[in-house]
Structures are given as structure tokens and as C-alpha cells.
Amino acid sequence: MNARSNRAEVRNPVLLLPAVQALRRLDPEARVALQRLLLEIRDEARLKAGKSWRTRKPPVAAYWAACAVYAGHIARSIGPAPRRR
């Protein structure tokens, strides 16, 4: 099995989008507020995906799962840098 890359842009491809740089230029308070909203969207989308899987609606579940992933990637791309262990 191949090891996963440690490069940030491989783990979070949203970082390669030019618009992310514009989001990073927002003032810190706006970025924190946006990050919180995106994380809420991520959590709500995960719940919807889970419900859709349980009710046997795979296409809808896949849609909500993808929404959750993108919201999480964007939230992490504009938030403070993760602390290294």
C-alpha cells in the first residue's frame, strides 16, 4: 500500500483554487465567522448523508457527503494553520 502524501494541497485540493487566496485575505474576524458557518454546513450535510444512506437513497447520500467534504476543506483552508505535534 502506498503512503499518503503529506503535502497540504494533496490532502486538501481546495487549496489550489485561486479564490481561496481571496478568502484568506479577509479580515480574521470574518474568516473565523465563515469557518464556523462552513463547519456547521459540514456537520448538517453529514447528518443528511447518513439519513439518506439509511433510507436507501445512495445518490442523495453521495451528494450530501460531497457537500460535507467540500465545506470541511474550505473551512480548513481559511482557518488558522493546524498546530504541529
Q: What are the structural domain ranges in the chain? A: 13-78
Q: What is the pLDDT of residues 16-73, one digit of tens each?
A: 999 999 999 999 999 999 999 999 999 999 999 999 999 999 999 999 999 999 999 9
Q: How far is CA 5 from CA 10, 12, 21, in A?
A: 7, 11, 22
Task: Specify the pTM.
Answer: 0.81
Name the 3-class secondary structure at 33.
Answer: helix
Residue 84 has pLDDT above 50, yes or no: no
